[in-house]
Amino acid sequence: MDTELDDLVQALRCLPGVGGKSARRMALHLLERDREGARRLARAVDAAVENIGHCSVCRTLTSAETCERCLDPDRDDQVLCVVESPGDVMAIEAATDFNGRFHVLLGRLSPLDGIGPEELGLDRLEERLRQQGTEELILATNTSVEGEVTAHYLAEMAGRLGIRATRIAQGIPSGGELEYTDAGTLAHALSGRRDY
């Protein structure tokens, strides 16, 4: 194959979920049908890599020193939602009308991988909780083992500071069928039942 074409195919494979065949299809599509889109893509990737870093306050991805959400004066300072990654912020924003503040851990506690409270910058979060007058800390880490451990740690931190900690609900996903739900989820769903 042509060297530059092969370079393009190989470079496209760095995208998640893109194997050899998809990469070839993408390369041919860009070259045969959408060279303008390809140029725009190259510029956008360059600009993003060059300019996007982490927000100085909440640590989500942003091209500014401080992200729009943190600068927005209309958001509720009393509620802070802690998530693991910038993608979680986007997912919550897209699905809910949550209007408080966010804090992105950029990871989760994982002692086996050498990621403790320091590596996650939890001292910084504690500082933020003190200064911002947070009244409720929403623990929206994943429901994986590490996510639960992280939530537990953060709940204790909130307790020391006299702040109410809440955990996102765990249960049957929308449209789910009880019969095919795993035991852990079903146990959470039952123990977390609410008045109807």
Task: List C-alpha distances in Å: 7 to 1, 2, 42, 83.
Answer: 10, 9, 14, 37
Closer CB to its own copies, 70 or 139, in the complex: 70
By CB under 8 A, tell whether 182 contacts its own copies: no
Closer CB to its own copies, 1 or 112, in the complex: 1
Q: With CA atoms as reference, report the closest residue to 115 among 153, 78, 80, 67.
A: 153
Token digits for 187? Answer: 């146990």
Q: Which of residues 48-87 bind its own copies (CB under 8 A)?
A: 48-49, 51-52, 61-64, 67-68, 85-87
Closer CB to its own copies, 15 or 190, in the complex: 15
DSSP string, 22-62: HHHHHHHHHHHH-HHHHHHHHHHHHHHHHH-EE-TTT--EE
Nearest-approach distance from CB 29 to its own copies, in angstroms: 5
Q: Which of residues 82-141 bind its own copies (CB under 8 A)?
A: 85-87, 90, 93, 106
By CB under 8 A, tell whether 12 contacts its own copies: yes
Closer CB to its own copies, 93 or 127, in the complex: 93
Amino acid, single-letter form, for residue 89: V
- The answer to whether 56 and 87 have CB atoms below 8 angstroms apart is no
- The answer to whether 163 and 134 have CB atoms below 8 angstroms apart is yes
* Binding interface with its own copies (CB under 8 A): 1-5, 7-8, 10-12, 14-17, 22, 24-32, 34-35, 37-49, 51-52, 61-64, 67-68, 85-87, 90, 93, 106
